[in-house]
Amino acid sequence: MTLQKKIVKQMDNKIILTVVVDNHSSSKECPGEHGLSLHLQSQNQCMLLDAGKSDLVLGNLKNLKLAKNAPEWIAFSHGHYDHTNGTLALLQEFPNVKLHFHPALTRPKWILDAPETWRYGGVPCGFPQKMNEIYKTPQELIPGIYASGSLLNDEVPKQKNTASRFYYKEGDTLKEDFFIDEQVLIVQSRKGVSIVSGCAHTGIAKAIQKTAEMFPNPNFYALIGGFHLSAASACEITENIELILKNKFKKVMPLHCSGEAFSKELAQKHPSIFVHGEIGTQIEI
């Protein structure tokens, strides 16, 4: 079956997204942390995007009553610790879950916090070095939910970002990380086409571009997840909001690394599309 035929088949699909791990929480039973994990339910199947910063993800899944049915997949947006550290706890609880990640995700990643101040920021010790199935993209993981594969199409940008804090280690050499491993989930349902992002290190524009490659002339519904705008300038915030409006997203839920300034600007100026998100928030997409 071709991708276009699958799109038609999924048009009536109802998909529910629940925030499991995020920086913010109003619940004592489900505390927050600097990380992200999202639960998606489609028909009688479910999956996760990312695994948070710790084993908190498993406790939150149980307290949100989402652990009864084992996820079919955990898809990983990229290889940073705050999106992967909960993986081992999830694998112990759900030993048959399949993992989806770009091969470059397991590179040892390092973060430069200040001059000569480094910390390890990659996947935890014991994280599988390869997927338990052949990596392919785009790949439908559960009905109507696709892993995009590399948002850079495995191409390293030529222009160097001199302000980068993010690197990976190759042998004894630290190299700037352009996040060739970054991917999003693209959701096709009765609501339209939605993008679910982990951090958007490569930018919201790249996620939109990749989606349009898979779904020409998409009828966008929701944009959800981390947008990596916590340190963005006012100009960058305006540019991203204009991009969202240009593509006619009907709902936007900023999470994790999206930044208070971005969320406040979107909520104040475009309240009809802004959705407040925190642990436990549930939305149909």
Token pair, residue 107, equals 């590179």
Regions in the chain scoring below 50 on pLDDT:
1-2, 8
pTM of the model: 0.95
Structure confidence at residue 1 (pLDDT)? 38
Task: Give the angle subtended at the CA of 151 by the CAs of 195 and 218, to the nearest 5°.
Answer: 40
Q: What Cα–Cα distance (Å) separates residue 110 from each residue in 80, 118, 122, 168, 186?
A: 9, 7, 7, 6, 28
Structure confidence at residue 6 (pLDDT)? 55
Structure confidence at residue 158 (pLDDT)? 74
- DSSP string for residues in 75-141: E-SSS-HHHHTTHHHHHHH-TT-EEE--GGGGS-EEEEEETTEEEE-SPPTT--SS-SS---SSEEE
- Three-state secondary-structure class, residue 53: coil
Q: Are 71 and 40 spatial neighbours (Cβ–Cβ below 8 Å)?
A: no
CATH code 3.60.15.10 for 3-284: yes
Strand partners for 42:
15, 45
